[in-house]
């Protein structure tokens, strides 16, 4: 491990504390080191609040003079909701800045590094396995493609079923797995299900206990037939509900849902297929600066999303049970024609949660990127 690795790893750990609190900003951490000792630490704690560098400089005080700043993301050089971090680093007379990765925001990209070097501060990019870049992958997608990071989640039996042939699915996974799902929900900007799941399960789609964010609950319902008596509609005043409909959805149904407090968004008339409507919706969510979206099913919804090459991350809960028969599998849609084209998870992790296995990771797909 080189001299840069330990403080940068600490900066990454600090950055993760902002998860769910800072979006649509990226998570960022900063560690100040002088003469081999940590003299300041900070992280971006909430959207609109001080950036990581400012927090670290405040804790270091005069000890920042001549220190090295290890920051997970290139310091900003523009006036946003807060002043430029480059100016603060220059004013504090830090001697050196080690940057985890460049900022994908075109307003910043390279300008922060340039401003620091112009002030006589040594700047170097941290050579690593890409952990700092992975930390801000959702922010990068939002900046580069204008769409949120999409997380697919499902619970299935060991024989790959989302439900029994009758449609019954309560409960496949155990309490420990469901607790993890609620924690996931609590840091999302939106949670998405299809009309079939909304009708059959009548879910609330809320985080219990409440998390850092209150996600918008989205139902994909091309003809706007969601029941006004559903839990989602009845609780629309407590947490936002957005129904994503096709352009030809009956106006009477759209009006009734709007009157009940549901926001009805309709795709463009040219968005004819499920994949087209998905892409149109993701573009809309990107315009709303949503960063992380959790898709909870069902199989047709997840399959259409896979066909659109828009799944970025997977969280699968596998219960040691069998049901057999004709129950649905997690992913429908067209799928991939050969095993050679199968997609793989990277940065994957396998955990035991009670009796269940919890597999999560990011999707490696060159075609999708």
Residue list for the binding site: 51, 76, 85, 155, 169, 171, 185, 197, 201, 205, 208, 222, 296, 298-304
* 141 to 107, 216, 246, 276: CA distances (angstroms): 15, 20, 26, 19
* 358 to 20, 197, 318: CA distances (angstroms): 21, 22, 6
| DSSP class per residue in 174-203 | -HHHHHHHHHHHTT-SEEEEEHHHHHHH--
Catalytic residue among 41, 53, 55, 310: 53
3-state helix, strand, coil in the chain (%, to 5): 30, 20, 45
Helix ranges restricted to H, the chain: 5-15, 52-60, 85-91, 111-118, 131-135, 137-145, 175-185, 195-201, 231-234, 251-259, 274-287, 299-307
d(CA 210, CA 200): 24
Annotated binding site for Zn(2+): 51, 76, 85
Cis peptide before 209 (omega within 30 of 0): yes
- 53 catalytic? Reply is yes
Annotated binding site for substrate: 185, 205, 208, 296
Sequence-ordered list of residues with C-beta below 8 angstroms from that of 244, at least 6 positions apart, any chain: 218, 219, 220, 221, 265, 266, 267, 277, 281
d(CA 310, CA 297): 14
DSSP 167: S
Cis peptide before 95 (omega within 30 of 0): no
Instruction: Please list the active-site residues.
Output: 53
């Amino acid at each position: 491990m080189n001299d840069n690795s330990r403080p940068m790893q600490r900066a990454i750990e600090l950055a993760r504390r902002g998860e769910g609190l800072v979006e649509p900003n990226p998570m960022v951490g900063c560690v100040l080191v002088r003469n081999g000792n940590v003299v300041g630490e900070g992280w971006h704690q909430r959207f609109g609040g001080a950036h990581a560098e400012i927090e670290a400089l405040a804790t270091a005080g005069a000890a920042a003079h001549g220190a090295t700043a290890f920051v997970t993301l290139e310091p900003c050089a523009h006036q946003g909701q807060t002043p430029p971090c480059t100016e603060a680093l220059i004013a504090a007379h830090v001697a050196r800045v080690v940057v985890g990765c460049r900022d994908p925001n075109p307003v910043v990209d390279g300008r922060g590094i340039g401003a620091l070097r112009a002030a006589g501060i040594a700047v170097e990019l941290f050579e690593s396995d890409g952990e700092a870049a992975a930390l801000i992958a959702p922010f990068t997608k939002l900046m580069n493609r204008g769409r949120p990071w999409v997380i697919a989640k499902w619970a299935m039996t060991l024989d790959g079923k989302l439900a029994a042939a009758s449609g019954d699915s309560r409960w496949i996974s155990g309490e420990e797995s469901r607790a993890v799902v609620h924690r996931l929900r609590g840091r999302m900007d939106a949670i998405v299900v299809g009309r079939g799941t909304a009708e059959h399960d009548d879910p609330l789609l809320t985080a219990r206990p409440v998390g850092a964010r209150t996600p918008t609950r989205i139902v994909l319902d091309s003809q706007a037939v969601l029941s006004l008596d559903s839990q989602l509609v009845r609780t629309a005043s407590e947490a936002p509900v957005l129904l994503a409909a096709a352009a030809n959805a009956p106006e009477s149904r759209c009006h009734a849902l709007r009157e009940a407090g549901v926001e009805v968004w309709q795709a463009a008339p040219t968005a004819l297929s499920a994949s087209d409507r998905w892409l149109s919706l993701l573009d809309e969510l990107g315009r709303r600066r949503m960063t992380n979206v959790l898709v909870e099913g069902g199989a047709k919804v997840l399959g259409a999303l896979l066909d659109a090459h828009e799944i970025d991350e997977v969280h699968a809960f596998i219960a040691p049970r069998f049901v057999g028969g004709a129950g649905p599998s997690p992913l429908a849609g067209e799928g991939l024609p050969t095993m050679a084209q199968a997609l793989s998870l990277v940065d994957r992790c396998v955990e035991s949660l009670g009796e269940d296995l919890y597999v999560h990771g990011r999707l490696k797909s060159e075609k999708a990127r």
